[in-house]
Amino acid sequence: MTEKIECKEPKEYRKKPVTITAYQTDKELEIETLEGTMKASPGDFIITGVHGEKYPCKPEIFWETYEEGDNDTSVEAFVIDNCIEWYNIISELSKKEEQYYLKKEEYNRKEFEIVFIEDIDFKAMYGSTAEKVRKQHAKTVLKGLDLEIKSLELSIDYLKRRLTYLKGLVTVKTALIDAKKSD
């Protein structure tokens, strides 16, 4: 028994913008598609769909349906790629800044400890006067921490410059895409 279906007013629908990959073959091919094996003739396009499915398409139908994509104007892909990079840089920057502040704290603590060590007998430890050894000991310990701090400062500076570059890139790219759309 068939169901009675009520007819409604037809509406217009537009195909969603989908990016596919395709190449034009120069020889006869047999393509395994979702509908089975299909033959592609020389000049046909072999399309790979959004789910990885492959199928042949005659050139005249291909050109009625598709236009050449410009990877540079795929706003969504561009924004997603840059958001991911932006997130990664900010995460790395956050970690580096945390390391930097911890090293600065350690440096200040060590500097305080070294300067105010009065009860260690450096002469017994190193065979030299306490003041001379204390200064050398302080220089050695603080120099290593200072190098780590400088390295972190350079990393932080690089990441901040990278973010500035990325911001400029997004601004320029967005302006170019907007200009292209208005043409």
pLDDT of residue 2: 61
Given a cut of 80, is residue 107 above it in pLDDT? yes
Given a cut of 70, is residue 120 above it in pLDDT? no
pLDDT digits (tens, 9 = 90+) for 29-63: 999 988 999 999 999 999 988 788 899 999 999 88
Co-location of 29 and 116 in the same domain:
no
Co-location of 48 and 100 in the same domain:
no
Residue 6 belongs to a domain: no
Co-location of 121 and 163 in the same domain:
yes
Co-location of 148 and 98 in the same domain:
yes
Co-location of 59 and 79 in the same domain:
no
Number of structural domains found in the chain? 2
Given a cut of 70, is residue 131 above it in pLDDT? no
Given a cut of 70, is residue 71 above it in pLDDT? no
Q: How far apart are CA 143 and CA 88, in angstroms?
A: 31
Counting residues of the chain whose pLDDT is more than 90, the rounded percentage is 15
pLDDT of residue 4: 67
Co-location of 78 and 48 in the same domain:
no
State if pTM tops 0.75. no
Residue 112 belongs to a domain: yes
Given a cut of 80, is residue 113 above it in pLDDT? no
Given a cut of 90, is residue 177 above it in pLDDT? no
Domain of residue 65 covers 21-69
pLDDT of residue 40: 94
Residue 11 belongs to a domain: no
Q: Give me the mean pLDDT over the 12-34 stretch.
A: 84
Co-location of 170 and 84 in the same domain:
yes
Q: Give me the mean pLDDT over the 136-144 stretch.
A: 78
Co-location of 146 and 56 in the same domain:
no
pLDDT of residue 56: 94
Given a cut of 70, is residue 117 above it in pLDDT? no
Residue 4 belongs to a domain: no
List Cβ<8 Å contacts ≥24 apart for 102-111: 103/145, 103/148, 103/149, 103/152, 104/149, 106/145, 107/142, 107/145, 107/146, 107/149, 110/141, 110/142, 110/145, 111/138, 111/142
Co-location of 98 and 169 in the same domain:
yes
